[in-house]
Structure 1
Amino acid sequence: MHDLTWRPLTPRDAQASADLLNAMETADGIGENYTAEDTLQELIDPYADLERASLAAFDGDVMAGYLKIRFKPSAEEVHRVFLDGGVHPAYRRRGIGATLVDAGVAAAKVVHELHHPSAKLVVDVNRPERIAGLAELVRSRGFVPVRYFQRMEHSLSALDVPVLPDGFAVEPWSKRNNEDFRNVRNEAYRDHWGAVPMPADLWRNKITNQTFRPDVSFLLREAGHAVGVLVTMSWDADTEATGVRDAHFMVIGTLREYRRRGVAGALMGHALRAAAGQGYDRASLNVDSADPLGAFGVFEKAGFVSTMRYVRWALEV
């Protein structure tokens, strides 16, 4: 611990961050590979205050561990901030993880007081449950599991998917309809657990970045009105590391009045056919296991199977 240099992250740490995350992937096997461009996108997140709410430990030029806090652009009764971080496999079991978690909770309090002081603060950690030692670490700091999410995958073989009902039309993403995509996402996710509307700056950072795949991202319309959305991402670093080209459905949603009518399933079917036609090897998505709208069952019916479970750990501060 005393041999390490500690300081906040900066955008100049993009390559060191990618190197750390890729080293973690070799040990944890959670399917997350990164380029420096990917990590830079996270470091310039408009809702990550690196100066006040990040910390990295360096051994020379090697990043041994890091944390960063991402606060929400809006909050009503509860402000859920994300604590993201990790420790290089070669530096684990030395107390670095505990130091980072404690620093992260303290940093969360700082940005919370700056942005949403009237709301209740909850610090969230969202990671695959298979990471060795993680559960013991966060439990020791007072975190408890509050939600479970499933990663689901589709082989894109033997596609037998529904067609769109009469009166509906699908169009791919374009600069012209970008705001329709964002607005439908925000309205559709209004009743999703923990979700808040994405302002334009966050949409640009998290969605329409270098991992965005506009040719496999679709807007659903009825009588000209935007009523559904599906956004696809794909990571070149994952493809290079695994040889598998994955179309990840990052956003799937329809307006409330169009639910339970088979519309979302048909929109997803359209995207599955498009992904297969463009040479993707599989499709994937993450779903809340406790989703009250039955999304898990919809995805199972469409041919997705569960491959990994994530745990949302929370600490009420």
Structure 2
Amino acid sequence: MPLAPDDSLPTADGLVFRPLAPTDLEAWLALIVRIAAAERAHWHETRSELAVFFEDTVNPAAENTLAGVESSGALRAFARVSKNPSGTKAAVFGGVDPQWQRRGIGAAVLAWQEARVRARFAADGVPNPLVRTYTEEDNPSHTALLRQGGYSVTRYYSEMLRPLAEIPVVPAPAGLRIEPFTPDLAEAVRLAHNEAFADHWGSEPRSVQQWGFLLRNEDLRTDWSAVALDDATGAVAGYQLSMYDPERFDREGRWEGYTELLGVRRAWRGRGIAPALLADAMARYKAAGMDHACLDVDTENPTGALGLYQGMGYRPLRRTLAWDKLL
């Protein structure tokens, strides 16, 4: 879609702004790594997660990304905006090179993102444009930028951890079996995920393209992932998809298996499928040499996920904050 008049590019001393291009990929990743190191971030986007942004047909990079480059051509700032056509929120993320911070660049980039969000909502015919972004709780500079910009915390996500020295044995509930995730189950699991998360705060259905991006993620471990299948119908009742970050040990000093997604469809809830999937995941992690299991949870999840994880031995480690602003 063409840029609206209020989508003018930011101005910042020493930088020229333009959309990100596929040829920026390596420089973009390097910039994100520099920012993460300076902020002592516990996670950052991977190469494959950045690469798919140039394939996203719903959020074309030419209109929804920003690169701030200095005269030498070095990338010093970036931004991205994403929104589903019928969605009631837009997600934004961005960053500024540590050596270029405190020059007003972050505020200028954020203002561009908000203008872009307004244009996206107007084009989709959706009222009340809402911006959402996320920060780690121990990131004071990013937190200050958002507070000054009129954002407020609307949700807390807790990263939880448990050692794998001893793991629970939880059999599959009667009438169900747990099987390894295989590519032929990918679409059924996508549909199961969309159904399972339909009542989760902030969740939106994942399209075939978005699901494909997830399945291509370089950190996804399909051999650590599993599905719970109904014996009578073969339907996917629940699922868990796991990831492994090879840089995690250097940052944290732990070998961790990470449960990226865990869901149970409504008709099968209350039968113990989630604990069985988690126990199965732990066994897979331990067999692969991991010494900890990790996951994140919305602390206000209405399905009782926090209590489930605590009962399975997970303990809070740190928090991520969700910030909203109604434009």
The question of a shared fold, defined as TM-score above 0.5 by the shorter chain, is answered with yes
Q: Percent identity over the alignment?
A: 26
SS for the counterpart of 1:268 is helix
Which residue number in structure 2 is paired with residue 187 of structure 1?
195
State how 1:97-246 maps to structure 2 within 5 Å. Answer: 97-114=106-123, 116-223=124-231, 224-238=234-248, 244-246=254-256
Preserved CA contact (<8 Å) 1:58 1:65:
yes
Structure 1 residues 243-269: Cα deviation after superposition (integer angstroms, max 9, x where no partner): 644322111010113223322111111
CA, structure 1 residues 242+69, in 2 after alignment: closer, same or farther (shift >3 Å)? same
Q: Tell me the CA shift for residue 304 of structure 1.
A: 1.3
Preserved CA contact (<8 Å) 1:172 1:217:
yes
Provide the rounded CA distance (Å) in 2 between the counterparts of 1:241 and 1:45. Answer: 30
Residue of 69, 84, 88 corresponding to 1:72: 84
Question: Normalising by structure 1, what TM-score?
Answer: 0.92
Residue of 71, 74, 88 corresponding to 2:97: 88
CA, structure 1 residues 49+277, in 2 after alignment: closer, same or farther (shift >3 Å)? same
Structure 1 residues 130-157: Cα deviation after superposition (integer angstroms, max 9, x where no partner): 1122222112212111111111122222
Which residue number in structure 1 is paired with residue 17 of structure 2?
6
- Amino acid across the alignment from 2:222: P
Provide the rounded CA distance (Å) in 1 between the counterparts of 2:86 and 2:247. Answer: 32
CA, structure 1 residues 291+36, in 2 after alignment: closer, same or farther (shift >3 Å)? closer
SS for the counterpart of 2:56 is coil
Provide the rounded CA distance (Å) in 2 between the counterparts of 1:151 and 1:297. Answer: 14
- Amino acid across the alignment from 1:2: D
SS for the counterpart of 1:315 is strand
Residue of 38, 41, 55 corresponding to 1:30: 41
Preserved CA contact (<8 Å) 1:55 1:67:
yes
1:21 paired to 2:2: no
Provide the rounded CA distance (Å) in 2 between the counterparts of 1:58 and 1:308. Answer: 34
Which residue number in structure 1 is paired with residue 62 of structure 2?
51
Provide the rounded CA distance (Å) in 1 between the counterparts of 2:258 and 2:85. Answer: 24
Provide the rounded CA distance (Å) in 2 between the counterparts of 1:45 and 1:238. Answer: 28
Provide the rounded CA distance (Å) in 1 between the counterparts of 2:15 and 2:135. Answer: 25
- Amino acid across the alignment from 1:28: E
Q: Tell me the CA shift for residue 105 of structure 1.
A: 0.5
Deviates more, 1:275-284 or 1:236-245: 236-245
Give the count of matched residue pairs.
313
- Amino acid across the alignment from 2:34: A
Gaps in structure 1 of 5+ consecutive residues: none
Preserved CA contact (<8 Å) 1:6 1:55:
yes
Gaps in structure 2 of 5+ consecutive residues: 1-11
- Amino acid across the alignment from 1:120: N
Deviates more, 1:182-191 or 1:35-44: 35-44
Preserved CA contact (<8 Å) 2:46 2:218:
no
Provide the rounded CA distance (Å) in 1 between the counterparts of 2:181 and 2:95. Answer: 34
1:307 paired to 2:317: yes
Structure 1 residues 179-217: Cα deviation after superposition (integer angstroms, max 9, x where no partner): 111111111001011111111101011334322211111
- Amino acid across the alignment from 1:138: L
Provide the rounded CA distance (Å) in 2 between the counterparts of 1:108 and 1:94. Answer: 24
Preserved CA contact (<8 Å) 2:48 2:216:
no
- Amino acid across the alignment from 1:123: V
Q: Tell me the CA shift for residue 49 of structure 1.
A: 2.6
CA, structure 1 residues 227+292, in 2 after alignment: closer, same or farther (shift >3 Å)? same
SS for the counterpart of 1:64 is strand
Deviates more, 1:165-174 or 1:41-50: 41-50
Provide the rounded CA distance (Å) in 1 between the counterparts of 2:42 and 2:295. Answer: 13
Provide the rounded CA distance (Å) in 2 between the counterparts of 1:201 and 1:35. Answer: 18
Provide the rounded CA distance (Å) in 2 between the counterparts of 1:237 and 1:40. Answer: 19
CA, structure 1 residues 61+157, in 2 after alignment: closer, same or farther (shift >3 Å)? farther
Provide the rounded CA distance (Å) in 2 between the counterparts of 1:127 and 1:57. Answer: 21
Provide the rounded CA distance (Å) in 2 between the counterparts of 1:185 and 1:35. Answer: 23
- Amino acid across the alignment from 2:78: Y
Provide the rounded CA distance (Å) in 1 between the counterparts of 2:314 and 2:182. Answer: 28
Q: Tell me the CA shift for residue 9 of structure 1.
A: 1.0
1:287 paired to 2:297: yes
